[in-house]
Amino acid sequence: MKLKLLTTISFFTYQLSIAQTEKILRGKVLSQNLALKNIEVINKTAKTSTRTNELGEFSILAKAQDSLILYSKDYFFTRLKITAKDIENNNLVVNMILKPEELNEVVINKVEFDKVKISADEVADILISKSAKDLFWNTGVNDGSIREGLRVSFPLKGKQKKTIEVTDDRFKKLVVATCPPDFFLKNLKIKPEEKELFIDFCEADPKSKTLLENPNVLTVMDFLYAKNEEFKKLD
């Protein structure tokens, strides 16, 4: 009986030591049976990261219960939790799903209209024709108005410019591409009806613009966690 008890204790101690000790976890990232290179592999728990090589292979220190994140701008965000079996097998295979192809974004800053090349006399002739000219020309009776006065008083404006302001939604797209759908509700505890308000709150911070220059999953999430603390204080 004592021997069985010691054997059981030894087994669980061994399993615990495996679960608590970081080991090199090797894996491969595929999409439709094709190896993916330069996929960012992040151990969110240990705050470490690496990238896949030409064959889609990677190796990273990890232990059981660590949260592993795989990110690429061309593929849907993938997250998984490492198990003791994954550590033991040491041959993790991850399949990623390609995002639908999107058209390149076109930002219109302003639109300029060329000056209409038409003389004051030509404009006056058009207006006179539309109004069937004046009373004198129609009936022969002078109504006291100055004939063809439009040729003297009609003003012509200069070059017309029109500016179209386009909303910059790059930060919102970055957040959607970086964070899984349940991130706001489960991790940040943001209610669905407050999600858009929270993203606008984050976008108002000048730091959100720096994230667009060098997008990084960990940096974006850390920024959202920090802004979430500020957002909660507004209540």
* Residue 29 belongs to domain spanning: 2-95
Over residues 78-119, the pLDDT tens digits come to 999 999 999 999 999 999 999 887 556 666 666 665 665 666
- Cα 79 from Cα 192, distance rounded (Å): 21
Give residue 58's pLDDT band: very low, low, confident or very high (50, 70, 90).
very high
Q: Does residue 85 share a domain with residue 11?
A: yes
Closest by CA position to 164, among listed 227, 82, 106, 223: 106
Task: Look up tokens 């957002």; give the residue.
Answer: 231
The pLDDT value given to residue 213:
83
In a domain, 106, yes or no: no
**In this structure, are 91 and 13 located in the same domain?**
yes
In this prediction, residue 154 carries a pLDDT of 47
Tell me the mean pLDDT in the region 150-174.
Answer: 62
Residues 60 and 136 in one domain: no
The single residue listed with the structure tokens 């970055």 is 174
Tell me if 100 is assigned to some domain. no
Residue that finishes a domain, picked among 54, 69, 95: 95
Task: Give yes or no: residues 152 and 221 share one domain.
Answer: no
In a domain, 102, yes or no: no
Mean pLDDT of the chain: 77
Task: Please state whether 21 falls in left (phi above 0), alpha (psi between -120 and 50) or beta.
Answer: beta
pLDDT exceeds 70 at position 235: no
Give CA–CA dist 178/217, Å, rounded.
Answer: 6
Query: For the whole model, what pTM was predicted?
Result: 0.40
pLDDT digits 0-9 by tens, 27-49: 999 999 999 999 999 999 999 99
Number of domains the chain is built from: 3
Question: Bigger pLDDT: 11 or 93?
Answer: 93
Burial environment of residue 116 by CB neighbours within 10 A (0 to 12, 13 to 18, 19 or more): exposed
